[in-house]
């Protein structure tokens, strides 16, 4: 493939009006990199600067919790990295299909798209490292173990930074390759492959069965009432609940959307509901990270509220641990919302570009831009609301004995959880709003209006 | 009896060094079906978009029922297109996740018609165009010709007085193309409405009441009528009239 490099060079010169499409994935990668490095730095600081040894094994607890937080963030981080890579792989729509028209093989064109997407990721990752360094002084102020983290413990070994960056670059390349497999590169254009939506009621039945078993188990263990039991309940509810959500999520969205399609009285509602119904699984994928986050917020928040309320006469180290767990949960939840919001923006940008011609034709027919914008926002925000409320209620029910206790012992902490969830929904809305200029640009490119 | 529904005066539009419209004058009578032919890149789509208030010309005016639409702002033009004009594109460009009837009804719903009424009227149009029983199909489940009929229903369900069609049969075989043209002409000129159509296909053009030719942005009236072509009703008195056939 001697021709690859010159063609790549020729085709990768910046196209006018395509800035947002480079900026979005690059920003996403910058954010992913910075967050990952910060969380990594925080987690590792518990190993390099462990809490003083005491009878409770506090140091070990911190290290384990730091690892759990890291593990919880990895999934949304990878999802966002994948979406970003897919977006930049698809942004070349016209150029890629032109290449196909000129006779380039799908393999060559796909390869070029992956190279480009990776290059955009490298830009973002470099910016992310700078962002990490810039954010550290603020991160250093966060209190753990009764005092501020401090800058010294947060500087990562340059080798760790490089290894993280390398891992992210590989991730970008792999996600771009996977993303390209989901689109058909034809001479007539780059299109998302249409797959028939397959969401079966068996999912719902399985999910409901699992919920009953889980609930009975919870009720039995709670009856015994020890602290160990509380921990077991939390872990079981967490794992079980997540599995349950993933099993039922698409079905629940499909059911809600079906109802909304029948009831929709306005163009916006009809369009939004049909968009969800078109592929409940895709709609679910966009919000599943959110389900997990709401779940963490409610389960961990409830657990901490109960432990806090119950632990009146405990030592400082233990009191610190509970406080720190709360701080940790908040950081994890906020970071996770940030990632979900970014994914929403990036996915929407890709969706708009995928349907560029349709949007242009609707604009020509006189469909107001406000209707297009409202419909695509609603198609995300409606599942977001269903998922947030649904997973909060589900975890509340699974943990009913504990939520009941928490309501009595520390209603304030439940309010804080509710506030965080509401803030998270707001963040996602902002992520969607950030993709609006992409629609504006697509329409401006389509109509040749001089104004 | 003639009444001009759409009048263009001295339209010019250039893209960089290229001239897409060169001092074009055109009057279109209510109830006419006008075909615009010409080589690729000669400015046909630009003309159609300018007449429909999608594109603003560099110079010149387009008046629709006495209003200069080139003077309207984007929001006003969008409203005009949605309420008074209908559009049929080459590739249907229907919304793939909506059903056939929802695609048609959407045009009415955007104008504030209640969904139930919108779907009732749409069902009538689909039936009229030979698509009864296909109301609930999604666009991917329709053939190219059926999809174009849905697009025709969408363009006329609002009662639009002018339908603009850009190569509506460009992606169809000749047999389907003839059927779609019949449906399009019946739905528009057949009901006293106006059709402005861009096509490459002289068979398609011959079914319209008048054919115009674009050449490098210059519009000229009909060449001598060929067998089967309806005679041109009015001559488009154009300042750029290049006399005579080539
Ligand atoms: N948005 C645009 N930007 C730049 N040039 C354009 C644009 N639209 C049309 N043109 C140019 O204007 C000329 C006429 O185009 P068009 O009206 O699409 O022709 P036709 O429909 O007859 O094929 C062509 O040279 C085309 O390249
Ligand atoms: Mg054209």
For the stretch A124-153, pLDDT in tens is 999 999 999 998 888 888 777 777 777 777
- The whole-angstrom distance between A354's CA and the closest CA on chain B is 13
**Cβ contact A270–B75 (<8 Å):** no
Size of interface A-B (CB pairs under 8 A): 82
Determine the atom of ligand 1 nearest the C-alpha atom of B217.
14
pLDDT for residue A435 is more than 70: yes
User: Per the CB < 8 Å rule, is B98 touching A274?
Assistant: yes
Residue A339 or residue B96, greater confidence? B96
Beta bridge partners of B19: B14
pLDDT at A6 (0 to 100): 63
Specify whether the CB–CB gap between A97 and A310 falls below 8 A: no
- pLDDT given at position A97: 66
Contacts of A451 in chain B (CB under 8 A): 56, 73-74
pLDDT of amino acid A58: 62
**Closest chain A CA to residue B99:** A274
Determine the distance in angstroms separating the CA of B206 from the nearest CA of chain A, rounded to an integer. 27
Decide: B15 in ligand 1 pocket, CB within 6 A.
Answer: yes
Distance B78 CA to ligand 2 centre (A): 21
Q: Chain A: which residues have CB within 8 Å of chain B?
A: 194, 264-267, 270-271, 274-275, 277-278, 357-358, 361-368, 371, 447-451
Query: Does the pLDDT of residue A385 top 80, yes or no?
Result: yes
Which residues, by Cβ under 5 Å, contact ligand 2, an ion? B 45
Overall average pLDDT of the B120-144 stretch:
93
From chain B, the residues in CB contact with A357 under 8 A are 91, 93
What is the average per-residue pLDDT within A159-165? 91
| C-alpha span between B203 and B206 (Å, rounded) | 5
Full set of structural domains in chain B with CATH = 4-242 (3.40.50.300)
Say if ligand 1 is within 6 A of residue B38 CB.
Answer: yes
Q: Is the CB of B40 under 6 A from ligand 1?
A: yes
What the block records as the tokens of A419 is: 């506030």
Residues of B within 8 A of A264 (CB-CB) are 115
| The pLDDT of residue A196 | 38
C-beta atoms of A368 and B114 within 8 A: no
Cβ pair B96:A277 closer than 8 A: no
CA B26 to chain centre: 15
pTM, entire model: 0.76
Query: Confidence class of residue A299 from pLDDT cuts 50, 70 and 90?
Result: confident
Please give the distance, rounded to the nearest whole angstrom, from the Cα atom of residue B51 to the centre of ligand 1: 15
pLDDT digits (tens, 9 = 90+) for A217-242: 656 655 555 555 656 666 666 667 67
pLDDT digits (tens, 9 = 90+) for A329-340: 777 788 878 888
Which stretch of A23-37, A171-185, A426-440 has the lowest confidence by average pLDDT? A171-185
Q: Say yes or no: CB of residue B130 within 6 Å of ligand 1.
A: no
| Residue A278 CB neighbour total at 10 angstroms | 17
β-partners of residue B11 are: B24
The pLDDT, as a whole number, for residue A182 is 63
Enumerate the residues of chain A whose CB falls inside 8 A of the CB of residue B110: 267, 366-368, 371
Ligand closest to the CA atom of residue A444: 1
CA B227–ligand 2 middle distance (angstroms):
26
Q: What is the mean pLDDT of chain B?
A: 87
Q: DSSP letters of chain B?
A: ---EEEEEEEEEEEETTEEEEEEEEEEEETT-EEEEEE-TTSSHHHHHHHHTTSS--SEEEEEETTEEGGGS-HHHHHHHHHHHEEEE-TT----TTSBHHHHHHHHHHTTT--HHHHHHHHHHHHHHTT-TT-TT-BGGGS-HHHHHHHHHHHHHTT--SEEEEESTTTTS-HHHHHHHHHHHHHHTGGGT-EEEEE-S-HHHHTTSSEEEEEETTEEE-PPSPPTTPPPPSS----TT---S--
| Interface contact A448-B46, CB threshold 8 A | yes
Q: What pLDDT does B233 receive?
A: 40
Is the pLDDT at A13 greater than 60, yes or no?
no
Contacts of A196 (CB under 8 A, 6+ apart): none
Nearest CB among A267, A368, A451 relative to B109 is that of A267
Q: Which of B45, B89, B196, B200 to mutate to test the pocket of ligand 1 (most atoms within 8 A of CB)?
A: B45
pLDDT at A421: 83
How confident is the model at residue A87, as a pLDDT?
Answer: 72
Query: Which residue of chain A is at minimal alpha-carbon distance from B82?
Result: A366
Does the CB atom of residue B136 touch ligand 1 within 6 A? no
Return the residue of B nearest to A372 by Cα.
B110
Evaluate if residue A54 carries a pLDDT over 60: no
| pLDDT of residue A118 exceeding 90 | no
Q: Which residue would you say has higher pLDDT here, A243 or B175?
A: B175
């Amino acid at each position: 493939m001697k021709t690859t490099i010159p063609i790549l060079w020729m085709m990768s010169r910046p196209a006018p009006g395509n800035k947002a499409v480079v900026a979005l994935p690059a920003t996403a990668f910058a954010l992913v990199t910075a967050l990952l490095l910060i969380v990594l730095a925080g987690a590792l600081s518990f190993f390099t600067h462990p809490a003083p040894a005491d009878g409770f094994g506090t140091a070990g607890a911190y290290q384990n919790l730091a690892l759990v937080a890291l593990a919880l963030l990895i999934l949304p981080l990878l999802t966002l990295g994948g979406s970003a890579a897919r977006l930049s792989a698809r942004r070349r729509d016209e150029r890629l299909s032109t290449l196909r028209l000129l006779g380039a093989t799908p393999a060559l064109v796909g390869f070029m798209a992956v190279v480009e997407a990776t290059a955009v990721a490298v830009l973002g990752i470099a910016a992310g490292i700078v962002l990490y360094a810039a954010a550290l002084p603020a991160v250093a102020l966060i209190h753990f173990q009764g005092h501020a983290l401090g800058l010294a413990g947060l500087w990562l070994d340059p080798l760790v930074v490089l290894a993280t960056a390398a891992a992210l670059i590989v991730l970008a390349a792999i996600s771009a390759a996977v993303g390209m497999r989901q689109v058909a590169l034809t001479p007539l254009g780059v299109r998302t492959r249409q797959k028939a939506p397959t969401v079966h009621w068996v999912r719902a039945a399985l999910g409901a069965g699992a919920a009953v078993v889980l609930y009975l188990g919870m009720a039995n263990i709670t009856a015994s009432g020890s602290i160990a039991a509380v921990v077991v309940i939390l872990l079981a509810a967490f794992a079980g609940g997540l599995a349950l959500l993933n099993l039922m999520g698409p079905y629940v969205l499909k059911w809600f959307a079906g109802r909304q399609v029948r009831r929709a009285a306005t163009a916006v509602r009809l369009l939004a509901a049909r968009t969800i119904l078109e592929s409940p699984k895709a709609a679910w994928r966009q919000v599943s990270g959110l389900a997990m986050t709401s779940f963490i917020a409610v389960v961990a928040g409830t657990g901490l509220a109960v432990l806090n309320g119950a632990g009146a006469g405990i030592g400082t180290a233990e009191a610190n641990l509970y406080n720190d767990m709360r701080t940790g949960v908040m950081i994890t939840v906020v970071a996770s919302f940030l990632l979900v919001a970014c994914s929403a923006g990036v996915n929407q940008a890709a969706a708009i570009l995928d349907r560029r011609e349709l949007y242009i034709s609707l604009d020509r027919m006189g469909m107001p831009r406000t209707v297009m914008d409202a419909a695509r926002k609603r198609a995300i925000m409606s599942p977001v609301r269903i998922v947030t409320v649904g997973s909060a209620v589900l975890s509340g029910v699974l943990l009913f004995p504990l939520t009941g206790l928490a309501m009595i012992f520390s209603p304030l902490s439940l309010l804080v959880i509710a506030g965080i969830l509401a803030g998270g929904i707001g963040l996602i809305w902002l992520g969607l709003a950030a993709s609006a200029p992409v629609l504006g640009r697509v329409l401006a490119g389509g109509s040749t209006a001089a104004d | 009896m003639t009444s001009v529904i759409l009048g263009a005066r001295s339209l010019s539009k250039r893209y960089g060094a290229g001239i897409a419209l060169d001092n074009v004058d055109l009057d279109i009578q209510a109830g006419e079906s006008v075909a615009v032919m010409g080589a690729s890149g000669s400015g046909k789509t630009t003309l159609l978009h300018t007449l429909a208030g999608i594109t603003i010309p560099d110079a010149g005016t387009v008046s629709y029922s006495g209003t200069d639409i080139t003077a309207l702002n984007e929001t006003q033009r969008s409203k005009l297109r949605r309420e008074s004009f209908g559009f049929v594109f080459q590739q249907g460009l229907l919304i793939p996740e909506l059903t056939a009837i929802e695609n048609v009804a959407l045009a009415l719903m955007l104008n504030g018609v209640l969904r139930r009424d919108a779907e009732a009227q749409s069902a009538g149009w689909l039936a009229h165009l030979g698509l009864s029983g296909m109301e609930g199909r999604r666009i991917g489940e329709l053939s190219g010709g059926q999809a174009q009929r849905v697009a025709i229903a969408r363009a006329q369900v609002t009662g639009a007085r002018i339908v603009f069609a850009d190569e509506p049969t460009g992606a169809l075989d000749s047999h389907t193309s003839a059927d779609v043209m019949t449906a399009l002409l019946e739905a528009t000129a057949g009901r006293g409405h106006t059709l402005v159509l861009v096509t490459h296909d002289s068979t398609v053009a011959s079914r319209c009441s008048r054919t115009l030719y674009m050449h490098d942005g210059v519009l000229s009236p009909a060449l001598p009528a060929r067998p089967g072509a309806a005679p041109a009703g009015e001559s488009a008195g154009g300042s750029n009239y290049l006399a005579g056939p080539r």
